[in-house]
Amino acid sequence: MIRFINVIIFIVTIVAYLSTNVSPERFWIAGFLSLSIPVLLLLNLLLFVYCLFRRNISLLFPLAALLIGYRFLMASVAINASAPVDTYDFSLLSYNVRVFNTYAYLQKDSSQNLSMIEWVARNDADIKCLQEYYNDDHSAIYNTYTRISQGKNQHAYLKPTLVNQIGAQFGLAIFSKFPMLATGEVRMDSSRHRFAIFADLLLGNDTLRVYNVHLQSMSIDERKIGDMEKAKENYTQIAKKLQFGFVSRAREVDHLVAHISQSPYPTVVCGDFNDIPYSYTYLKLKQLLHNAFEEAGNGLGFSYNGRLFFLRIDNQFYNNGLNAYHFSTDRKVLYSDHFPIKAYYSLGK
């Protein structure tokens, strides 16, 4: 019986692994299959331990599944030695700031919102990439462009996805202590609201390209996940939203990768990717780039501050022109529904 179970789990696991190579835009079910990978990894580990203690030869099936899924294990848990801090050329902070909690339902009090803005402004990162950015030049609190671009953050690029009736801007922003030689955007689809931005920065005699990305949100109301009275209705809605997200992000990442592959400079791609490390989105980027958490982080790196705390959906990727050091997720910063992530990099070493 245990051999039969091992064989079935092995087959299901391999199918789930293979699903990550299929774009959900072409076959949306692949997105759901990839969600099962962390559960299958854990299940194979438990089966392996069980068979090992029972001295059952069928342990070869879960062992093979774990070995074949090595890249998924490495994306789950990072173990890296610390490098000397004086080896880096720049540091980069990426943070989904949730419009600095400007809406009343997000606010605990206005002083906390101001504390969040000041935290971003004071952070010593050389480059800051902010998603769900918000700026209102007429506000004494939310004039964030002025507050953050002072001092070492004097070079800035803001690209609004929306400007509301009072002239406040919502979108993506890059702040830098390094001069910006050029800026631009990457259209993700036909919508004028779906894009990533990039800036080419002058670091001494070198040029660095930084992309700031916010892929299609999951848009899941966490409160509905545990509502058993409306379970059928809620989970049907959640499934539809997940399907829409899988397809949208697959389309977006294909556009993004095409643009990144043409970059003539050492490149960092950071932001809120709204997808797990076992997804088509994540692995499409991994075909071209290194992931800073995997190469320089430690632990599990969960970056979401909510009920689904086990999600690592914020990332920094980089290409062969760079090395990453000291990647960290600051889980003590509780202002947003995301935690800020930060890494240190060296050029051409």
| DSSP sequence for 39-95 | HHHHHHHHHHHHHHHHT-GGGHHHHHHHHHTHHHHHHH-B------GGG-SEEEEEE
Last-in-domain residue among 49, 76, 103 = 76
pLDDT at residue 349 is higher than 60? no
What's the angle, vertex CA 68, arms to CA 65 and CA 70, rounded to 5? 105
* Sign of the Cα pseudo-torsion (223, 226, 230, 232, in order): positive
- For residue 192, the model assigns a pLDDT of 67
pLDDT digits (tens, 9 = 90+) for 256-312: 999 999 999 999 999 999 999 999 999 999 999 999 999 999 999 999 998 888 999
Instruction: Cite the DSSP H helix spans in the chain.
Output: 2-19, 29-35, 37-54, 60-68, 70-76, 110-122, 144-148, 231-260, 280-286, 292-296
Last-in-domain residue among 35, 54, 76 = 76
Residues 38 and 90 in one domain: no
Number of domains in the chain: 2
Give mean pLDDT, residues 49-62: 89
CATH number of 224's domain: 3.60.10.10
Confidence of residue 110 (pLDDT cuts 50, 70, 90): low
Q: What type of residue is 252?
A: E
Residues 148 and 229 in one domain: yes
Residues 52 and 119 in one domain: no
Least confident segment among 24-28, 79-83, 263-267: 79-83
Residues 24 and 99 in one domain: no
**Number of C-beta neighbours around residue 300 at 10 A:** 13
Residues 152 and 196 in one domain: yes
Residues 63 and 135 in one domain: no
- For residue 85, the model assigns a pLDDT of 64
225 or 47: whose pLDDT is higher? 47
Residues 329 and 247 in one domain: yes
pLDDT at residue 327 is higher than 90? yes
Q: What percent of the chain has pLDDT over 90?
A: 71
pLDDT at residue 255 is higher than 80? yes
Relative to beta strand 127-135, strand 90-96 is parallel
Cα end-to-end span (Å), the chain: 54
Q: What percent of the chain has pLDDT over 70?
A: 91
Give mean pLDDT, residues 139-149: 92
Mean pLDDT (the chain) is 90
User: How far, rounded to the nearest angstrom, does the alpha carbon of residue 228 sit from its chain's CA centroid?
Assistant: 30
Give mean pLDDT, residues 173-196: 89
How far apart, in whole angstroms, are the C-alpha atoms of residue 56 and residue 5? 13
Give mean pLDDT, residues 106-119: 80
**Number of C-beta neighbours around residue 115 at 10 A:** 12
- For residue 233, the model assigns a pLDDT of 64
pLDDT at residue 235 is higher than 60? yes
Residues 21 and 100 in one domain: no
Residues 189 and 50 in one domain: no
Residue 143 structural domain: 85-347
Residues 90 and 230 in one domain: yes
- For residue 150, the model assigns a pLDDT of 85
Least confident segment among 125-129, 207-211, 240-244: 240-244
Residues 26 and 144 in one domain: no
Last-in-domain residue among 52, 76, 100 = 76
* 304 close to 338: Cβ distance less than 8 angstroms: yes
Least confident segment among 159-168, 176-185, 306-315: 159-168
Least confident segment among 4-8, 48-52, 233-237: 233-237
Give mean pLDDT, residues 332-349: 92
Residues 54 and 118 in one domain: no
Nearest to 152 by CA among 120, 185, 198, 115: 120
How far apart, in whole angstroms, are the C-alpha atoms of residue 13 and residue 38? 10
